[in-house]
Structure 1
Amino acid sequence: MNILNFFMTGFIIGGIGTCLGGLLSIFIRNPSDKVVSCLLSFSAGIMLSIISFDLLPKSYEVSGFFIVTLGLCSGLLIVFFAEEIIPFKKINKYAGRKQDFFKMGIIIMVSLSLHNFPEGVALGSSYVYSRSIGIKMGVLIAAHNIPEGMTIGVPLIMAGVSPLYILLLTLLTGLPTAFGAVLGEVLGHISEYFIGFCLSAAASSMLYVTVSKLIPEADILHKGRIKSVFLLIGFICGCYLSFAS
């Protein structure tokens, strides 16, 4: 494949899963606070398991403690920077609680974009090494991204974002995968330290969103135990996705 084909393949694989997740979230119509609490808890469980069993273990394996620590600190700074430069308060359409949900969805999108770039690098370099391995990895990445797309879509639905924009935003998360796939193809094998840095940066940004946005918001919406059950279900689903890859 030429570079354009690698770009388009990476974009489709990276975006199709999150777009499907966003599509699933669109079917949620006027949910109760209890339902939203459970969905947010489910999303939080998925993200916690991906951080624990996918991102950080792989990052430590390929790069070591120093690079992982640098990536963790950088990922948090990137999210803080994104919160500062994105003019949430100037978007008058989303006020009060809606703005909180809108901000949550966008920050999750930024975090997942950090995650998708090294996935794209792995996709491109593995395809160069073996076509069959590259295809298998592409299928796994697409499946992996479906619940991640829901974590973006659910808060945006609660903010009142139109379905078309939700699909567009979840599809755009495929762009980092596309650029990563091109880089992986051009370089064949990129520095493992860089991969570890990207993975740990994604881990810290996702951890920030989970513990400071998703879980607290779920607790505010509903005080019952059912949200904890959905947190566990999400965690188990994330474990399956991590170990399946």
Structure 2
Amino acid sequence: MEAVYGLLLPFLGTTFGAACVFFLRRDLSDGIQRGLTGFAAGVMTAASIWSLLIPAIDRSAELGKWAFLPAVTGFWIGVLFLLALDHIIPHLHRSSGQPEGPSSQLRRTTMLVLAVTLHNIPEGMAVGVVCAGYLAGDAEISSLGVLALALGIAIQNFPEGAIISLPLRAEGESKLRAFAGGVLSGIVEPLGALLTILAAGLFVPALPYLLSFAAGAMLYVVVEEMIPEMSQGRHSNVGVLAFALGFSVMMVLDVALG
């Protein structure tokens, strides 16, 4: 059941957020979008620390002073993995007029969806690897810990769903197509989680590396994309305060439920 929560909750958060396109008549203001992005960045940062890196180090305690090694190794592999995806997948960030990755003839709206899909990959992997640890009987990962991570990511996926569907609507897409774009950007999460569960089940000793891999991938997204977006323009302190709120919410969920 915990694995089902892990697979479905984040996706439902994105879906409900994307459904905002049916109820809101116009795109969100820059200030609100910065706040929502900052909140999501705070959740992802806290999840990377409490749900992923700390359990990775704790699980390697038998290495003594070298307990950090699997966490550091997996972390850097995760960072480099997202760096590689950033260079090989054409995408366009909402606040940028210049596409990233290889040159492409893809539509602007398609590249907007790909940008969100790209940073949903590590979130799905994070939930998947924590579910895998719980299913493998890891004493450091509880069922409530799985629920806390899935719930935290679902909460931050709600504004992400709105942030992708509303701009698609503003780009001229119909409400239904804009909603579908938001939903499709999140479908990679349950798929990534499922694949990670299967992979981790086959390689249980590699769990510390997989936990920290997901953390590195998520923090790459936070630093490369979300922090610049939340800090640009006037009144950037809105993004900072929202980041602190998101960090606090995820920290409370993980400590209280984990």
> In structure 2, what is the equivalent of residue 156 of structure 1?
164
> How many angstroms does 1:227 deviate by?
2.3
Question: Given the two structures, how large is their TM-score scaled by the length of structure 1?
Answer: 0.77
More helix by share: 1
Q: Which of 10, 16, 33 is 1:18 aligned to? A: 10
Cα distance in 2 for residues equivalent to 1:70 and 1:181: 20
1:223-238 matches, within 5 Å, as 223-238=235-250
Cα distance in 2 for residues equivalent to 1:108 and 1:221: 23
> How many angstroms does 1:180 deviate by?
4.5
1:153-192 matches, within 5 Å, as 153-157=161-165, 159-160=167-168, 162-182=178-198, 190-191=204-205
> In structure 2, what is the equivalent of residue 219 of structure 1?
231
Cα distance in 1 for residues equivalent to 2:79 and 2:238: 30
Residues 45-84 of structure 1 show CA distances to partners (whole Å, capped at 9, x for unaligned) of 1111112222111111113221112111100111012123
Gaps of 5+ in 1: 1-5
Would the alpha carbon gap of residues 141 and 54 (structure 1) be closer, same or farther in structure 2, given more than 3 Å must change? closer
RMSD over aligned Cα atoms: 3.0
Would the alpha carbon gap of residues 164 and 141 (structure 1) be closer, same or farther in structure 2, given more than 3 Å must change? same
Aligned length: 225
Gaps of 5+ in 2: 61-66, 92-102, 169-176
- Which amino acid letter does the alignment assign opposite residue 235 of structure 2? K
- Which amino acid letter does the alignment assign opposite residue 219 of structure 1? S
Q: SS in structure 1 opposite 2:85?
A: helix
- The alignment status of 1:115 with 2:126, answered yes or no, reads yes
> In structure 1, what is the equivalent of residue 58 of structure 2?
61
Cα distance in 1 for residues equivalent to 2:198 and 2:131: 8
Question: Given the two structures, how large is their TM-score scaled by the length of structure 2?
Answer: 0.74
Cα distance in 2 for residues equivalent to 1:139 and 1:190: 21
Would the alpha carbon gap of residues 212 and 179 (structure 1) be closer, same or farther in structure 2, given more than 3 Å must change? closer
Q: Percent identity?
A: 18
Check the 8 A contact 1:25/1:150 in 2, yes or no.
yes
- The alignment status of 1:105 with 2:116, answered yes or no, reads yes
